[in-house]
Amino acid sequence: MDHITICRCEEVTLEDIKNTAKKYQCSAREIKLRTRAGMGYCGGRTCRPAVDAVMEQVTGEKPGHDIPLKVQPPVRPVSLATLRGMQDDK
């Protein structure tokens, strides 16, 4: 169970998150900075709810939008060519 990969972009397992949360008693944001969960290519859009859920279980931190794991623009990764209007956004 603990070997489940939570963040696929950065290969962070449930075990990594649980151990880090227990060792440092930290917030979801600190988990992100320590383990890189949610900092990969997809921008955390895939694993963020899972990280929040794990944190709620381990430290009792409720997912919120004030500091922990807030969503930053751009909501989708876009290429510079798209921003310049060189091609249609797919």
- Residue 22 Cα to chain centre, angstroms: 18
Of 66 and 88, nearer to another protein (C-beta) is 88
- Which CB, 60 or 89, lies closer to another protein? 89
Nearest approach, Cβ of residue 8 and another protein (Å): 6
DSSP state letter for 76: S
Contacts of range 76-81, beta carbons closer than 8 Å, 24 or more positions apart: 76/43, 77/41, 77/42, 77/43
Distance CA 29, CA 38 (A): 10
User: In the complex, what is the shortest distance from the CB of residue 41 to another protein, in angstroms, rounded to a whole number?
Assistant: 5
> Is the Cβ of residue 5 or residue 66 nearer to another protein in the bound state?
5
Q: Which residues bind another protein (CB under 8 A)?
A: 8-9, 11, 41-42, 45-46, 77, 79, 90
Tell me the one-letter amino acid at 88. D
